[in-house]
Structure 1
Amino acid sequence: MPTAEPRGLRQAAIDWLQLRSDGGIEPLTREDILDFQFAGESVRLQAPMQGIWKPRGYAAALSFRTAYTKPGEPPPYEDKTGDDGLFRYKWRGTNPNHPENVGLREAMNLRLPLIWFLGVAMDPARYQVIAPVFIVAEEPEQQQFAFTAAEDSVAAFELEGSMHEEVTRRYLQRMAKVRVHQPAFRSMVLSAYENRCTICNLGHPGLLDAAHIVPDRDERGIAAVTNGLAMCKIHHAAFDRNFLGIRPDSVVQIRHDLLEEVDGPMLRHGLQDLHGRQLMKVPAHRRDRPNQELLETKYKEFQAATASG
């Protein structure tokens, strides 16, 4: 006999996922996600095969999933972010009354929070957890739903109906960047570099960042693996501030004035001794390796800083 959604389960699942993923920073495997329990019983939070998960007996969907797409390959579905700062998720099939589409529609009507599992790696599959998210509109002509990464229903639905469209758009874009694009970019880059710093090979994920080669404020600065480098925090800071450069042939360069300084072991071993060395870690797959044009752009910036330093 089908049973209704247990009271409190949805929020408990979101809280548990946030804790398990360190606030949405660390991606989770399918096995990680299967560990959730509520009231002493295991509860599935992710669909076993399809994208949308509406457990039997529930009026509304609980979660949905976006498959991981390898760099350079077209995504299996047309889910995307709009210029308005909202994300889109395609219907299941073309029937608006498919039970899974009905489940997402009911979550919208009831203003319920959902869990979005965003694929960031495969073999094994790993997912960035973005929760809560809220569906704020349905676009039947495009056979899709629009949803936001705003963190609460009041913000999500009040913003959607706001008269101040420009303010709303900027807020939603900022939330999308902070809650979705930045964590997903970090996970994809660190996965490609097997959780090791490209400069020094340090292998502690908690001390690693995903450094943009070209910053995301630049129109070329896309949040893609090919515009990223896994770096420990000190080398990330040195790279961003042009104390350290990377030639397009993957050779590390240290700014000449820094090479002449006498300070201590951190400067000597952490930076000066790296001058002229090849990168210690690069992605195994060529498709994940840094874009040469972006490396050239960043290296020219480093050269200009060196000349004026």
Structure 2
Amino acid sequence: MAGRLWTVERDRRLREEAIEWLKFRTDDGAIPLTRAEIRDFSFEGEPFALQATQQGIRKPRQLEAALSIQTVYRTPGQSRPYEDTVGSDGLIRYMWRGDDPNLPENRALKSAMENDLPLIWFIGVGMDPALFQAVCPVYLIDEEPELKRFVIVPHDEEAFFPREAGASTVIQETVKRFLTRETKIRLHQPVFRSTVLRAYEDRCAVCNLAHRVLLDAAHIVPDSHELGIASVVNGMALCKIHHAAFDSSILGIRPDMVVQIRPDLLEEIDGPMLEYGLKERHGQKLMMLPTKKIERPRADLLEIAYERFLHAKPA
């Protein structure tokens, strides 16, 4: 591989094959991977590293531009070496490495931006072993040098919103709202799901069901709420029945982690799902919680959700 010329076409083919391989290995982004699993990728019959081992930016020596970026996992309350932020437009920013725009890694990111090259974003969702959500493709669409960061979108924004566009228009503002929504769907949700399911060991908090395909990562407080953070402490692994019951206020969870079922449902007579799946859980402690206390649901968020449950009216 080293002896062949690295043309622009070969670079793009590498990226396309890597992204397709990751989508296949992760069931289109649903399953996180370990570093060892990510190292299984090969290009043109030879192993090719997709992920940086030390720094967050992977720029292979053969390429002019960065191939991947990385955000390490930190348990709730811990800060990262480079903290990704969200701008006023709702789009995510990825920080430079250090302060010098001429560092090779920063130049490699700028090259990816200027050439509209797709990147892979490995986002840490757990430790022991380290697990990463592969989010791809993502594109860098702008640089904010005064803040030492790039702007990220999870698809090629150029198809919707060319950089050379002039003053803001209604159409452009609509596109910005679309991109913000898509960013949350394409970036936040898979990472939130993997982080929560990993913390709950792929089991429903209410009934201990252990089939991942039947599990959701439920928000305790919706992300539209001012306290609705996209963090494991605002999530619970719930099977689809208990997730729907929780969201519709049929099922509530007290701040002391005890399940409550809406009173009118307790009086109702129906089939085994109501009897054993819901009514039998009334007054029982959650069956699964994260081993690490710092990853367990925050009491203030449970309190907000439980107040909503108490004041909900039967449909």
Q: How far apart are the structure 1 equivalents of 2:265 and 2:151?
A: 50
Counterpart contact for 1:69–1:76, Cα < 8 Å: no
Cα-Cα RMSD: 1.9
How many Å apart are 1:30 and its aligned residue? 0.7
List per-residue Cα deviations over 1:4-46 (Å, max 9, x = no partner). Answer: 2635111010111111111112211111111111221111101
1:247-306: per-residue Cα shift (whole Å, max 9, x none)?
111111111221222221111111111111111011111111111111111112111226
Asked if 1:185 is matched to 2:187, the reply is: no
- 2:283 corresponds, among 276, 279, 284, to 276
Q: Does residue 91 of structure 1 match 2:96? A: yes
1:9 matched to 2:14: yes
What is the letter of the counterpart of residue 261 of structure 2?
I
Query: Does 2:161 match 1:154?
Result: no
Does 2:206 align with 1:207?
no
Write the deviation string for residues 95-118 of structure 1: whole angstroms up to 9, x where unpaired: 222221111111111111111111
**How many angstroms does 1:56 deviate by?**
0.9
Q: What residue ranges of structure 1 are gaps of 5+ in the alignment?
A: none
Percent identical among aligned pairs is 54
In 2: Cα distance, 1:48 partner to 1:37 partner:
17
Q: Which of residues 124, 128, 132 in structure 2 aligns to 1:123?
A: 128
Give yes or no for contact 1:148–1:156 (8 Å, CA) kept in 2: no
Alignment of 1:231-246 (within 5 A): 231-246=238-253
Residue 57 of structure 1: how far off its partner (Å):
1.9
1:304 is matched with which residue? 311
- Structure 1 residue 240: Cα displacement: 0.5
TM-score (norm 2): 0.92
In 2: Cα distance, 1:76 partner to 1:109 partner: 26
Contact 2:160 2:175 in 1 (8 A): no
Structure-to-structure mapping, 1:1-309, within 5 angstroms: 3-4=5-6, 6-7=10-11, 8-149=13-154, 151-152=155-156, 154-155=158-159, 158=162, 161=165, 163-164=168-169, 165-305=172-312
Q: Distance in 2 between matches of 1:48 and 1:248?
A: 40
Task: Label 1:156 to 1:137 Cα distance change in 2 as closer, same or farther (>3 A).
Answer: farther
Say if 1:136 and 1:160, in contact at 8 Å, map to a contact too: no
Q: Secondary structure at the match of 2:138?
A: strand
Q: How many residue pairs are counted as aligned between the two chains?
A: 307
Give how far 1:179 is off.
0.5
CA distance in 1, matches of 2:248, 2:164: 39
